[in-house]
Structure 1
Amino acid sequence: MTLVQVAQRATDLDRAAAFYTDLLGHGPAARFDPPGLLFFDLGGVRLLLEQGAPSAVLYLAVDDVPATVERLRAAGVPVEGEPHVIFHHDDGTLGPAGTDEWQAFVRDPDGNLVGLVEHRAPATT
């Protein structure tokens, strides 16, 4: 079994398209308006943005959590949680073994919480 699609609330498709295009680094895969559906391809999983969907927390992998947060902050995106190490992966159960998992949280234009995730080698002292 694999995940096919995740739905997220978006009250303004143009505003949502601009935000997620900037965040993801690529534009929508499809738009059907009416009825008001906007799709992004996330590595084979569809992100559906639609007015009738409930709010969800999305966790998206990024190359550099601190740099992504600073870029989004400069664009006026609300930052809810600053970049920090949330977990060290001793084994490969939930992430690459030997890496630290960095996370930060921002809000999209509809107020939905979006987690940003990066796996990084631990800093050496």
Structure 2
Amino acid sequence: MGWLGTRTDRAEALAGFYRTVLGLRETYTEPGFWVFTLPDGRNVEVFGAGSNKDFFDTGPVAGFAVRDLPAAVEELRAAGIEVIGEPGESWQHFRGPDGNIYALVADVR
């Protein structure tokens, strides 16, 4: 697993749970958005109202770690998978065959 993001209407409660119950280290926050870094350096993110991730509408979004992001994106396209938007610096979102949103995340470890 390379990344996990959750869009929820109870974002502050979920962020508080990650911070106080699970003991995750909060490394970034802005209104409606929290980033927590796991011990291995990967991130768990929470998106609430006002975040710019409106396409995360199918539940938690898992990001699968890949060693070569551009090659992995091309494999998705070749397989007929819908790639969403332009790639980020280290990620690319896509819609799986089940209709849910997922991501590829560059494994920089």
TM range (shorter): 0.3 to 0.5
TM-score by structure 1 length? 0.37
Structure having greater relative contact order (Cα 8 Å, sep ≥ 6): 2
Return the index of the structure with the highest Cα Rg: 1
